[in-house]
Structure 1
């Protein structure tokens, strides 16, 4: 039982930091945050803000930071179930967070580069916006989920798999919505889009898995 065998101090600090990042985002962008928070039931956010997207974007940067911290906590707690690492090791947790940050950032930059090379800037730009929006929404959900794992639930593989499956389904929803809304356009670039997905959606996660297991 995680909450009984390790100090939760570092997790508490990180969860408070996540709440602070989300609060700042809501304070700076109240209307946009309201639209964003209902992204699962209302596509208003995607339709409005996809047209005005900027890179980098402060709104996305704040929520992206929350996402990285949330994934790091979940990944660290999950990996502890099947490893000999010290579950209270701050250094290991920070290394994991840094690795996740670098991989996701490099992945986004590579996606933009590849879209330019394949001359699919407009469609890939919209795809990235949808994908990042759903991923940062997952970051919001990770705050209560991680709190449950750390302070309430007995951490088991079944619980971890359930949480991860739920988060992956939400991410899949975003991809399916994009495909549905751009099906006609994608048909003309189907080969390149499939190549894009295989190269930049699957391989980075395989690399991240290898880094974590080492």
Structure 2
């Protein structure tokens, strides 16, 4: 009787990433319990932003931990979408994930640098740090959504394109909520600097999204 061999997806490296993400989340909850529970309710109220925008701004341990989780899981979500929507529906190309990880990290660092530079050169540093804290807080929440979605996709509903689509919608929805709240809180400033706002929108929001979509299609 001939032995039957079954191809088992190479999930070890993904399991390692998700374990690291869980560790980051656990550390955030353990050391910053109050911030963690207000963060969980971020899309539904502004308590997290109001309580923490003055406590070290973006340079605090909780924010850094969540940012690392976000980078890991947004890149992983993009990797899964690329493979299962446009690729071979396998987990065997970690090099592709590495490229996406660098792209996500590079984009966020460039965006952070440009926003900080704007605050320095135009003497609106406090305004820019507030804006950065708000935008990156919502981005981190979308990273949390991606983390949960990645776990469900890998270990419960593997191969479900519907789930991936729902997670993508959730990620975009969280960031849209953040955008709306930021626009509402800064509407007077935006109205007085419409041209600059349009330039910012095209260079730091729309263009990177177009690059991501182009890469995924490629």
Pick from 8, 14, 19: which aligns with 1:16?
Answer: 19
| Residue equivalent to 1:58 | 61
Question: Aligned equivalents of 2:58 and 2:42: distance in 1?
Answer: 20
Pairwise CA distance, 1:43 = 0.9
Shift of 1:160: 2.3
Structure 2 regions of 5+ residues with no counterpart?
A: 1-6
Q: Distance in 1 between matches of 2:89 and 2:166?
A: 23
Output the TM-score relative to the length of structure 2. Answer: 0.85
Structure 1 pair 119–203 and aligned structure 2 pair: CA distance change class (3 A): farther
Does 2:176 correspond to 1:172? yes
Question: TM-score normalized by structure 1?
Answer: 0.87
CA distance in structure 2 between the aligned counterparts of 1:13 and 1:192, rounded to whole angstroms: 43
Corresponding position of 1:29: 32
**1:200 corresponds to 2:204:** yes
Name structure 1 gaps, 5 residues minimum: none
Shift of 1:84: 4.5
Deviates more, 1:62-71 or 1:25-34: 25-34
Map 1:134-145 to 2 at 5 A: 134-145=138-149
Deviation at 1:144, TM superposition (A): 1.9
Report the equivalent of 2:3. none
Provide the alpha-carbon RMSD of the alignment: 2.2
Give the drift of 1:150: 1.0
Shift of 1:132: 0.3
Relative CO higher for 1 or 2, CA cutoff 8 Å, sep ≥ 6? 1
Task: Indicate the residue corresponding to 1:92 in structure 2.
Answer: 96
